[in-house]
Amino acid sequence: MQIDAVKNYLFSLQDSICEALAIEDGRAGFIVDEWEREAGGGGRSRVLSDGAVFEKAGVNFSHVHGDGLPASASAARPELAGRSFQAMGVSLVVHPRNPYVPTSHANVRLFVAEKPGEEPVWWFGGGYDLTPYYGNREDCRHWHRTAFEACEPFGQEVYPEFKQWCDDYFYLKHRREPRGVGGLFFDDLNRWDFDTSFAFMRAIGDSYLPAYLPIVQRRKAADYGDRERQFQLYRRGRYVEFNLVFDRGTLFGLQSDGRTEAILMSLPPLVRWEYDYRPVAGTPEAELTEYFLQSRDWLQPA
């Protein structure tokens, strides 16, 4: 295994994404917070706050290790419970200021579970997903087309499989609705050899900026008022609910005694809840759930 090569790639991915987002924002930069984990390992958090384009953007790198794999990481492989482990990855969330720019999330990661006298067990995970407040068909098709093109060299079955996995994973069961319009999600990935699996992880990581930045550039100057802002803050509540109730990355970070500030970096700076809110029929707010937050093939023309 080329663990050092994976770590070097993740460092460079964090650097390139932060540089591109800071340039796009044009006003705010990223603060850098390096931290150590008492139980082993550490990381480098980078956070942009109160920018011209991005209200908050966080891009985390972490590399942690320990004597026992947390339950959230071994849920799909109970036979690995109790093994020593190391986990490394980059995880990011971008919360734009303009309600017409979607929130985006991405992460890529490597887990290694080890036991004396046995070969290490490794797997990759990651993906990215898009959470609009005001849906746009052009943006959704671009996002999914970029994801499809990143997956295509690895087999025609890869995009539809990981697209469906994303739809299933980022689903709020208590709301009976998806978090957004999906993208890609994969975990426990070792179906190929290590080099091919690593290449796939790089393809996904490298395609995030081409998937997201054109959307930001098209929508960041759109006019909006208090109505759109209040709806954005309301819908951000769904993002918070998912991350605190269902997200495996959040659970892993907390169960592995990670750094709380870095784990909860994904939460938006402002959010609101309203009891039994129902959008008016025929409005863009109603269209979000009636059309965009439905499972569909975004590669096909509308």
Catalytic residues: 105
Question: Which of these, 24, 206, 18, 204, lies nearest to 127 by C-alpha position?
Answer: 204
- Distance, in Å, from the CA atom of 122 to the CA atom of 113, rounded to the nearest integer, reads 6
Residue 142 labeled ligand binder: no
Residue 190 labeled ligand binder: no
In DSSP notation, 141-172 reads HHHHHHHHHHHGGG-TTHHHHHHHHHHHHSEE
Residue 62 labeled ligand binder: no
Query: Which residues, at least 6 apart from 207, have a Cβ–Cβ distance to it below 8 Å?
Result: 146, 147, 149, 150
HSE-CB of 113 using CA atoms within 13 angstroms: 18
**What's the distance, CA 166 to chain centroid?**
10
Residue 174 labeled ligand binder: yes
Which residue type is seen at 219? R
Query: Which residues, at least 6 apart from 202, have a Cβ–Cβ distance to it below 8 Å?
Result: 9, 108
Residue 65 labeled ligand binder: no
Query: Which residues, at least 6 apart from 74, have a Cβ–Cβ distance to it below 8 Å?
Result: 80, 81, 83, 113
Q: Mark the binding-site residues for a divalent metal cation, compressed into ranges.
A: 95, 105, 144, 174
- Binding-site sequence positions: 91, 95, 105, 107-109, 144, 174
Residue ranges of the annotated binding site for substrate are 91, 107-109
